[in-house]
Structure 1
Amino acid sequence: MGTDPGLRRLALRTLLAAFPGSAPPDWALELLRDGLAGYTLFGRNVRDPDQVAACTAALRAARSDVLLTIDEEGGDVTRLAHATGSPYPGNAALGAVGDVGLTRRVYRAIGDELAALGINVNLAPTVDVNSAADNPVIGTRSFGADPVPVAAHAAAAVAGLQAAGVAACAKHFPGHGATVTDSHHELPTVDVPVQVLRERDLPPFAAVIAAGTRAVMTAHIRVPALTGDGPATFSPAVLGDLLRGEYGFTGTVITDALEMKGAAAAAGGTGPAAVLALAAGADLLCIGSEVDATLVERVVDEIVGALDDGRLDLARVEEAAGRADDLAGWTRTVVDAPPADGDLGYAAARRAVRVEGVLAGLGTTPLVVQLLAASTVAEGRVPWGLGPHLAGAELLPIMATETDPGALRERAAGRPIVLVGRHLHRLPGARELVEALAAAHPVTVVEMGWPSDWRPAGARAFLTTYGASHANGRAAAEALGLAG
C-alpha cells in the first residue's frame, strides 16, 4: 500500500529542497509538478547570470508559483558572487557606517538583482545581535552588538528587499548572536533568562515584524528557559507563544537547514526533524543543501507517517502549507527596478573602513601577507583579501602557525609588511605572529573579520573593514594606497 497521494502533496507543499548542478534535473522538475514548495539555490547552482535566469525559468515552467530562495546577504555570505566575492559589504560594515538609508539602498540593489534572475525569497537579513565577540557563525553577518541600531538596520534591510518584490526572511529567531559554537556542527546553548532575550536579542525581530517581513527563520539553538533540551526550531514555546503570540508575527516561519547538526542530531535525522519542526509551528522546511529525490521522499514519508500515527495534526500541516502558499502568492508581485548603481556597494565599503594609527610610508612596495583562515559553512569557500586589488605589491599567503617571524622579515627585505586576516584575535597563532613582527618591523594590520578589543602592540596602523567581501577588499587596498 503506497503513500496517500493527497497527503504526499500536502507534505511536499511544506518543503524547500535543493539539487546539484547548474540546471534542474528531471526529478527536481517532477517534484515541483507534484506540489513541492520550492528550492534553495547554492553556489554550485550558480555559474553566471544568464545561466541562473535559465535555471529559474525552467523551475517556474514546472510550477509557476515556485518559491526560489537563496542566501544572498552581501559581505561574507554570497551565492551569486561565490567565485569572486560580493560587490556589497555585509551587515557589520553597514552597521559601522550607521546610515540606515544606505542599508535600505544596498538591500534594494540586492533585491533587484535577485528579482531579475527569477529568485523571489532572500534568506536574509541576518538580524542577530552579535553580543559574543568570538561567535564563529554570525560575526560580520550581524549589524552590530547593540540591539537598538541593529533593529533600525534590520528594518531598513527588510524594506529594501521587499521594495524589489523579493520576500525577506529575517534570521535566526530568537537570536544566534550570543553563541560561541556553530549550529552547523552542534547544538549551541544560550543559557539566559527570557528577559535577557527580550532586551538583547529580540528587539531586531520586533522591528522586522513591524516592517512587514514576509518570513522569519528559526535558529537551531537551545535556550533552556524556553526550549528545554531541544533547539528553538522544535519549540512551540518559541515559535507559537513567543513569535506568533507575543510578537504577533503572521507570516511564514522557515526553518534553518534541517540537515545541520543542531537539528538533525537532536531529532535523529532530517525526516524526524521535519516532523518536530512542523509540530512546533514551522511552515516551510529547508531540508538542506545535499538533497536528492530519495531524501525528499524519505522526509515526505516521515511527515505522512506522523500524520497517520498522530504525531502531527492534519490542520497544523494544512496551516503550514497555506502559509507557504501565501508567501508564494506575495512574491508574484511585479516591481519596476530603478537603474543599477554599480559603485553602490564599493562606496558603502569605503565608508565602513576605520583606521587607527598612521598609514604613511607604505608606498606601492610593501609585502602583503594574508593569514589563511578556514571558512564557515555559511560563508563557503569564497575568495577574500587584498589580492585582486593590488597594484605592484607582493602578496604572500601563509598559515600563522607555520610561519617564523624572522623568515617573514627576511622575505620583506626592508619593506614594510601589511598583515591581512579575518578574526585575528582568535585565529590560532595570529596574535603571537603579529606581535612578534610588530616589535621589530614596520607592520600595518588589516582586520577583515569581526573586530575585537585586541590591538597588537607596536603596529603602525590597524585598519578594520568589518567584512571580507570583494567590496571590502577593494576599500582596504584603496585606503592603504595599494589599489590598481
Structure 2
Amino acid sequence: MARPDTLAEGPITMSAPIGAEGEDTVSTDPGLRRLALRTLLAAFPGHTAPGWAEDLLGEGLAGYTLFGFNIADTEQVATLTAQLRAARRDTIIAIDEEGGDVTRLAHRTGSPYPGNAALGAIGDLDLTRRVYHAIGRELADVGINLDLAPTVDVNTATDNPVIGTRSFGADPVRVAAHAAAAVVGLQQAGVAACAKHFPGHGATIADSHLELPTVDVTPQLLRDRELPPFAAVIAAGTKAIMTAHIRVPAITGDDPATFTEALLVDVLRGEYGFTGTVVTDALEMKGASRSAGGIGPAAVRALRAGADLLCLGADIELEIVEEAAAAIAGALADGTLSLARVEQAVARNEALAAWTHGIEDVELSPRLGYDAARRAVSVEGSLSGFEHPFVVQLRAGHTIAEGAVPWGLSPHLDGTPQLAVAADETSANALIDAAAGRPIVLVGRHTHRNPAARSLAEQLAAVHPLAVVEMGWPAGWRPNGVKAFVTTYGASHANGRAAAEILGLVA
C-alpha cells in the first residue's frame, strides 16, 4: 500500500508552533491540510460538480457522497462520476442506495426493489443476494463504487423513527444471515458495501439526525442482540462499516459510538477482527455535531476514536469542508491527534478506493425487485369483495434518511377511484360518502403511530367494509372489524406495485 503523498515526499516539517509571531501555521501548511482532506467524504449541490469540488479532489479529498439532489437520471450520474474521476482517478464515490424506502437513484419514482424488511420477511437468502447484486450492478454502471448499505440494525423498537423498514427484522440471527447475503451481492457487482450502523441503531426511539439517542443495554446484551449482524458482515468480507451516533452508556458514557475508541478499536477491530474502513455516519447530524461542538471538533474526535473516512453529510459547501480539514490539521499540529492515526486512516481509505472486483456476467431480470416485493406481501383476513374499491391514501411524513420519495398505490392503479387525505382533515363519514357504495382500501405508512389515522381506520372498520394496506414497519395494531390487513414491509415503487397486484388493481 502506497503511503500518503505528503508522507512519501518526506517528513512533514512544522516551521513554527501555532501562534508563533502571530501566524497560524496550520492554515499555511499544505502537507497537513492535504492529509486531513484524505479522510473526508464531502458533498456538493447540483447535477454537475462545481469547480471547488473538482479542486478539492486534486488537493487530496477522499471523495464525495451523492444525494437525490445530485441525480436527474442514469446518464447524468455517469457523466458526473466521470467528471469527478477526471479530477482524480481513485476517488471514492458513495451513495445511500438501500433499495426500499431509502433510494437516491430512484428518488423521483421510488425504488424498483423492496427494502430489507420485505426481504427479511420473505426469508430467501439467495433472493437477498440477487437483489443487492442488481442494486450493485446499477451503481457500478454509473460509476459509483461505495454503497452506504446494507442497514444491518436489528429493529427491536417497533416505533423506531429512523430504521424501521430499513431493517431485515427484529431477530439477530435472521438479520445476520440477510446482512451477509446483501454484502456478498453488492461486492460481487464490484461495489464496496458499508454495513451500518455500528454498534446497532435498532433499539432506539430517537433519530440521531436530530438528537443523540441512547441504547441503554449491558455489553452482553449488545453482543447477543445488536452485534451478530456485524460479525456476519465481517465474515462475509464487507469493505466498510459505518458508525452510529448513539450512546451505549455502559461503554460510551455520554459520548456517541462514533467518538468511542472502546467500540471502534477494542470491539470492532480487536474482538471482531474487522480490517476494513470505518466510515462515520454524517457528522452534520445532531447526534455527532452537537455532542462535539461542531463538525470540525467532531471530525477530530472521530479520527482519534478510530474512524477512517469521515462522512460530512448532505448540506455541505466548501466552507464546511475547509472547517473540518482545518480542525484536523490543527489537531495534528498541536499533537492532540496522532499523525500515525491519520496516516493509518488514509491508508485504509486508499485501499477502499483501489479495491475492485470483477463484475459477474449475470443477466438481470427487470422484474426481480417487483417479483421479490410480491413475495413479501402478507394478507390477514380476506380481500373478497374488494374487487372494485375506493382507495384512500393517508398522507404521511418521511424521515431525513428516506427523503421525499413518492410512495403508495397511485402509480399502479387501473383507473380505480382514489383520494389522498390527511387523517386529521377528514372523517369516516366523509370517506364513506366519497366511496359511493364501494368498499374502502386505506393505504398508510406507520398508521399505528398516528392517533388520527388509527382512529379513522377504527371508525371506518366499525361501519364500512375496510381493507388496510400498511406500508411501514409492521406493528401489532389491527382495527376491530377490518376485513383484510395487508402488510407490504416497505413503501418502495416495487412494494406499491405488489400491493396493487394483490388487490387486483394493476393497470
Using the size of structure 2 for normalisation, the TM-score is: 0.94
SS across alignment from 2:441: strand
Q: What residue in structure 2 maps to residue 119 of structure 1?
A: 144
CA distance, structure 1, for counterparts of residue 139 and residue 98 of structure 2: 11
Report if the CA contact (8 A) 2:188-2:360 is conserved.
Answer: no
Of 456, 461, 470, which residue of structure 1 is paired with 2:479?
A: 456
Report if the CA contact (8 A) 1:373-1:427 is conserved.
Answer: no
Report if the CA contact (8 A) 2:188-2:358 is conserved.
Answer: no
Residue deviations 1:36-85 (CA, integer Å, cap 9, x gap): 00000000000011100000000001100000000000000000000000
Identity of aligned residues (%): 70
Report if the CA contact (8 A) 1:3-1:301 is conserved.
Answer: no
CA distance, structure 2, for counterparts of residue 472 and residue 100 of structure 1: 19
Of 396, 411, 430, which residue of structure 2 is paired with 1:388?
A: 411
Residue deviations 1:131-165 (CA, integer Å, cap 9, x gap): 00000000000000000011000000000000011
Shift of 1:242: 0.7
Whether 1:335 and 2:359 are equivalent positions in the alignment is yes
Residue deviations 1:372-431 (CA, integer Å, cap 9, x gap): 111000000000000000012112111112221111111112110000001111123111
Deviating above 6 A after TM superposition, structure 1's stretches of 4 or more consecutive aligned residues are none
Q: What residue in structure 1 maps to residue 98 of structure 2?
A: 73
| Counterpart residue type for residue 481 of structure 1 | G
Q: What residue in structure 1 maps to residue 45 of structure 2?
A: 20
What is the RMSD of the two structures over their aligned residues, measured on CA atoms? 0.8
CA distance, structure 2, for counterparts of residue 478 and residue 264 of structure 1: 45
Whether 1:42 and 2:98 are equivalent positions in the alignment is no
CA distance, structure 2, for counterparts of residue 168 and residue 242 of structure 1: 20
Of 376, 384, 401, which residue of structure 1 is paired with 2:399?
A: 376
Q: What residue in structure 1 maps to residue 161 of structure 2?
A: 136
Q: Superposition pairs for residues 262-277 of structure 1, below 5 Å?
A: 262-277=287-302
Q: Superposition pairs for residues 15-414 of structure 1, below 5 Å?
A: 15-331=40-356, 333-364=357-388, 366-414=389-437
Report if the CA contact (8 A) 1:3-1:304 is conserved.
Answer: no
Of 442, 447, 461, which residue of structure 2 is paired with 1:419?
A: 442
Shift of 1:334: 4.3
Whether 1:480 and 2:503 are equivalent positions in the alignment is yes
| Counterpart residue type for residue 87 of structure 2 | A
Q: What residue in structure 1 maps to residue 464 of structure 2?
A: 441
* Pairs aligned (count): 482
CA distance, structure 2, for counterparts of residue 428 and residue 27 of structure 1: 48
Shift of 1:362: 1.6
CA distance, structure 2, for counterparts of residue 430 and residue 162 of structure 1: 41
Whether 1:4 and 2:29 are equivalent positions in the alignment is yes
| Counterpart residue type for residue 46 of structure 2 | G
CA distance, structure 1, for counterparts of residue 144 and residue 360 of structure 2: 15
CA distance, structure 2, for counterparts of residue 395 and residue 296 of structure 1: 47
SS across alignment from 2:178: helix
CA distance, structure 2, for counterparts of residue 259 and residue 387 of structure 1: 35
Using the size of structure 1 for normalisation, the TM-score is: 0.99
Report if the CA contact (8 A) 2:117-2:167 is conserved.
Answer: yes
C-alpha distance 173-427 of structure 1, shift in aligned 2 (>3 A): same
Structure 1 spans left out of the alignment, 5+ residues: none
CA distance, structure 2, for counterparts of residue 428 and residue 273 of structure 1: 38
CA distance, structure 1, for counterparts of residue 32 and residue 241 of structure 2: 26
| Counterpart residue type for residue 400 of structure 1 | A
Shift of 1:3: 2.9
SS across alignment from 2:245: coil
CA distance, structure 2, for counterparts of residue 481 and residue 303 of structure 1: 58
Structure 2 spans left out of the alignment, 5+ residues: 1-24
Q: What residue in structure 1 maps to residue 13 of structure 2?
A: none
| Counterpart residue type for residue 474 of structure 2 | P
Q: Which has the larger radius of gyration?
A: 2
